């Protein structure tokens, strides 16, 4: 077996045993902060996921101390919409790790990369799961700090998919996704529940439009309920005082728009733009076809002909 590659390809080999308790079975994924491995607990059995912080972050005592505090706090968050953290530790080379429940599905980031954007009813159903998880965390004094599509998991062990929030242990350690940061986070200020709700609105905007908010960006033909447009505007307010204050109120505003209901398998199978359907309606209105232009041109010509005939009659009378 070849030796493990040096940093940044510091992979744990399949078959190796982590901390004498977890057998590594393979790599599930990774990013700029950590790698996630599929593993099995040797003593009690059962599949788990292990998130190992990259060495470049584990070298900072402040980061390690913060991760350990977050791991303890996150382990106390028991909620269906938050991934369960069951253990944590430090490897022999100083890298920190978190042990989490094993999930089957994909991240919202993966879904958006494939579909581009989602029908608004589906988007509201998914963001509802995010808000339920955040409401529980905020009630226990925990701020996520890094809500973005890659930290939102769609667990497909049940239908419709169940939202699971990831990254409570390492969110906010790096700024590798600035588009989702609230203004106060981008300025280096303190992260608060209002910061999480701002980031949640950015994610909702992306689900609806296929892009993160920018300067006066418009998606032609995008049809949204008026209440949803107002919610987006308030959720993305620059000043904290102008935003939706709590996850509970955010959920109430969603209810005022209308109960989207759970996303059905048919709804989750989104059609390509511009013909994505949402309960029989067009999410993006297609451009008028040739027949419409023919009718319009014919109407204009007919009007001109009537005007000409009227002028001719008037001149003959005089």
Give the chain's domains with CATH numbers. Answer: 17-101 (3.30.200.20), 105-282 (1.10.510.10)
Sign of the torsion formed by the C-alpha atoms of 177, 181, 184 and 189: negative
Amino acid 11: pLDDT = 79
Q: Is 137 within 8 Å of 81 (Cβ atoms)?
A: no
pLDDT for 24 equals 94
Instruction: Return the SS3 of 22.
Output: strand
pTM summary value:
0.73
Where residue 261 falls among pLDDT bands split at 50, 70, 90? low
| Pair type for strands 281-282 and 277-278 | antiparallel
Please say if the pLDDT value at position 85 is more than 70.
yes
Question: Is 90 exceeded by the pLDDT of residue 108?
Answer: yes
Q: State the Cα–Cα distance between residues 209 and 251, nearest whole angstrom.
A: 21
**pLDDT reported for residue 307:** 41
Which residues, 6 or more positions from 79, have their beta carbon under 8 angstroms from its beta carbon?
132, 133, 136, 137
Residue 269 clears pLDDT 70, i.e. is over it: no
What is the dihedral angle through the alpha carbons of 274, 109, 201, 129, rounded to the nearest 10 degrees? Answer: 110
In angstroms, the first-to-last Cα distance of the chain is: 105
Q: pLDDT > 90: what percent of the chain?
A: 38
């Amino acid at each position: 077996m070849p030796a493990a590659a040096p940093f940044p390809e510091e992979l744990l080999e399949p078959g190796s045993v982590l901390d004498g308790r977890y057998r590594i079975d393979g790599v599930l994924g990774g990013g700029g902060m950590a790698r996630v491995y599929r593993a099995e607990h040797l003593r009690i059995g059962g599949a788990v996921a292990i998130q190992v912080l990259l060495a470049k972050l584990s070298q900072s005592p402040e980061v390690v101390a913060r991760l350990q505090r977050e791991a303890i706090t996150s382990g106390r968050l028991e909620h269906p919409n938050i991934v369960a953290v069951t253990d944590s530790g430090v490897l022999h080379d100083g890298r920190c790790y978190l042990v989490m429940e094993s999930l089957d599905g994909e991240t919202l980031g993966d879904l958006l990369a494939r579909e581009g954007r989602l029908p608004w009813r589906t988007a509201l159903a998914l963001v509802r799961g995010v808000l339920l998880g955040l409401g529980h965390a905020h009630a226990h004094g925990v701020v996520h700090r890094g809500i973005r599509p890659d930290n939102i998991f769609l667990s497909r062990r049940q239908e419709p998919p169940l939202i699971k929030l990831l990254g409570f242990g390492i969110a906010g350690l790096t700024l590798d996704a600035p588009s989702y940061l609230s203004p106060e986070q981008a300025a280096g200020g303190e992260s608060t529940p209002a910061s999480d709700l701002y980031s949640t609105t950015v994610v909702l905007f992306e689900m609806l439009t296929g892009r993160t908010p920018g300067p006066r960006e418009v998606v032609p033909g995008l049809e949204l309920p008026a209440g949803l447009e107002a919610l987006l505007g308030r959720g993305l307010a620059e000043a904290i005082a102008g935003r939706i204050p709590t996850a509970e109120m955010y959920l109430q505003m969603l209810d005022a728009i209308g109960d989207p209901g759970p996303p059905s398998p048919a709804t989750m199978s989104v059609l390509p733009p511009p013909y994505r359907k949402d309960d029989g309606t067009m999410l993006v209105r297609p451009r008028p076809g040739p027949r419409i232009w023919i009718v319009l041109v014919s109407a204009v010509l007919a009007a001109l002909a009537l005007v000409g005939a009227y002028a001719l009659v008037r001149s003959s009378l005089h």
